[in-house]
Amino acid sequence: MRSEKIFQILLFFFIFTTLTIVVGIVVSLVTTSSPIFIKYGLDFVFSSVWNPVKESYGILPALLGTLITSTIAISIATPLAISLAVFSSEIIPQRFRSLMNSISDLMASLPSVIYGLWGLYVLAPILHNYLMLPLHNYLGFIPLFSTKPTPTNLFTAGVLLAIMIVPFASSIIREAYTAVPYNLKEAAYSIGMTKWETVRTMLGYIKSAIFAGLFLALGRAMGETMAVAMVVGNILNIPKSLFDMGYTISSLIANQFPNAEAYEYMVPALYGGATILFLIGLVINLVGLYFIKKVMIKG
């Protein structure tokens, strides 16, 4: 009887430790960042001036950078992730499936600093020479491509993020796809559907899972720090085109924090950035989890 009691206390102890940590993270974010919101209010979010010497902090350029890079990433990743999921569960011959899934899972588990190093020295030059320069030269009149690109910029960061989130999103979609009841597939073929038409029907059936995968992947893209910090350019400007160098909130924190203690309000400002990032991420992930829940109820 005693060991039962001790065991229960032990379990409670650990679960409270976990809860304390979660709550502690939120509390430390809010309390440390509160001075910046008290001093600047919404100006902190909508101002584009970041000048620590004058103690004026506006997060808008970094916020835009986060939104732009993650939008690029999710736009590229959506067709790729869906295709990868369909390909590995429907098109590729059975015996290669587990290999294909292993490759995709391996991709999802590579450290972001490795993506960063590769993005900086391999991907960025390739994109620069073969995609961004031609786009700028021939289509430079379109505002999106108007800046003369350097290898590291918002676009490079967006593409690298897309590469990183595809396997993650695709694994969620794949799981739902393979869980579709077999008789549904049989029914589709039995009324004379072609393979593509069947695939399209199944994709419609797992719509919620696709949304879930994409939203959770979007959340990851927004929070990703290291890889982005290595290829985004790290310049605080309101971006005028996709090829501008920029910052994201997380890369701003990564780069600026080491010298933040030297200024009065920089630490609160960076925690403020983290708070905003946290709130955006929270909403996006809750939406993602909502869709996952829908999938589970259906399945």
**Nearest distance, CB of residue 284 and another protein, angstroms:** 8
DSSP 149-167: PPSSSHHHHHHHHHHHHHH
Stretch that binds another protein, among 6-14, 131-139, 173-181, 237-245 (CB under 8 A): 6-14
Helix (H, G, I), strand (E, B) or coil at 56: strand
262 counts as binding another protein under rule CB under 8 A: no
Q: Which of 69, 147, 208, 225 binds another protein (CB under 8 A)?
A: 225
Tell me which residue has tokens 């008290």: 38
* Binding letters toward another protein, positions 37-76, x by CB under 8 A: ----------------------------------------
Euclidean distance between CA atoms 23 and 2, whole angstroms = 31
Q: Which of 59, 68, 73, 84 binds another protein (CB under 8 A)?
A: 84
Stretch that binds another protein, among 53-61, 143-151, 180-188, 271-279 (CB under 8 A): 271-279
Euclidean distance between CA atoms 285 and 8, whole angstroms = 32
**Nearest distance, CB of residue 140 and another protein, angstroms:** 26
Closer CB to another protein, residue 141 or residue 190? Answer: 190
Alpha helices (H) in 87-194, listed in sequence order: 94-109, 112-118, 124-127, 133-139, 154-178, 182-190
Closer CB to another protein, residue 64 or residue 81? Answer: 81
243: nearest Cα among 165, 75, 127: 127
Q: 79: burial class by Cβ within 10 Å (0-12, 13-18, 19+)?
A: exposed
* Binding letters toward another protein, positions 181-220, x by CB under 8 A: -------------xxxx-x----------------x--xx
Euclidean distance between CA atoms 167 and 177, whole angstroms = 15
Is the separation of the CB atoms in 211 and 198 below 8 Å?
A: no
Backbone phi, psi, residue 276, to 5°: -60, -45
223 counts as binding another protein under rule CB under 8 A: yes
**Nearest distance, CB of residue 123 and another protein, angstroms:** 8
Total residues contacting another protein by CB under 8 A comes to 85
* Binding letters toward another protein, positions 137-166, x by CB under 8 A: --------------------------x--x
Question: Rule CB under 8 A: which of 104-123 touch another protein?
Answer: 104-107, 109-118, 120-123
Q: Which of 59, 62, 74, 81 binds another protein (CB under 8 A)?
A: 81
* 189-218: burial string, b at 16+ Cβ within 10 Å, e else: eeeeeeeeebbebbbebbebbbbbbbbbbb
The percent of the chain in helix, strand and coil, each rounded to the nearest 5, is: 80, 0, 20
Closer CB to another protein, residue 32 or residue 146? Answer: 32
